[in-house]
Amino acid sequence: MTATVIRPATEEMVLSLSCPDRPGLIYDISRMLIEHRCDIVESSQFSDRSASSFYLRAQFRSADGGAVDDGRLRQSIGALAEVEGMSWRLSRTGDRPRLLIMVSRFGHCLNDLLFRASSGDLSVEVAAVVSNHPDLEGLADNHGVPFHHIPVTPESKPAAEEQLMDLVDALDVDLLVLARYMQILSPELCKHLEGHAINIHHSMLPSFKGARPYFQAHDRGVKLIGATAHYVTADLDEGPIIEQEIARVDHTMSAEDVTKLGRDNECLALARAVRWHTENRILLDGQRTVVFR
């Protein structure tokens, strides 16, 4: 038997859902929340008419100074979901999802995420940092975050991924963040992490592959550079896009200037993607995402 959990009255909750679209859905969902004495404080919805799909995010709190009965509310949502063919998630705004950040030798995205987490800009808990190189252990140590060095070679890759998944389970990780982790994950691992892993890459793919892409872009005289944060899938760098950031480049900038600007783009796009995911603002729409900012 599942125990009923009574939440503090001051705590707000978030319901996000997707289902086939039909007239009256917003009314039925709102009525259900009202019946549980919930006051909706923020609501966003989107109907994808091409796919006849409906998406909603509602943030709410107790309407009468009492506490939201988490167990009873979940039962009501579950009953509605069964009728509507609905995928849903209920969370609390006070939750601090646990992140595991993976990195190789470039530390800008790691440094940005660790600072945002420690300053409260991101409401998350960084459970650990994992790297295939030891270079950034000091950065993790400075933030009091455990660092795990898991070397990866073609021969050791299966064992390394098994060690990684053992960490994910042992640390109760909610989201894996590839913050410039320069290793390709196996299709099996990508499938296991589906919807719970975010990657960042420069948006010039596939134009400039390989080493020093920003130097390649500079040599070609590009005028815009960018970065893309997306969910990890077995299709390399082709998962559902969450956020993109761009910056303009001109002829006065050196290759080093372009690289610095590109890394700023990567930090911004990745931080936004992590925030929106951990605030339950992202829903999948096929190969696209619906992001309720």
Write out the catalytic residue numbers. Answer: 237
Give the span between the Cα atoms of 279 and 270, in whole angstroms.
Answer: 14
Cα separation, 127 vs 98, in Å, equals 6
DSSP secondary structure letter of residue 3: P
Q: Roughly how many angstroms between the first and final C-alpha of the chain, as a whole number?
A: 37
Cα–Cα distances (Å) from 205 to 44, 95, 201, 225, in that order, read: 32, 35, 8, 11
Among 54, 160, 41, 147, smallest CA distance to 103 is for 147
> Residue 241: what are its φ and ψ, rounded to 5°?
-75, 130
Closest C-alpha among 138, 85, 81 to residue 107? 138
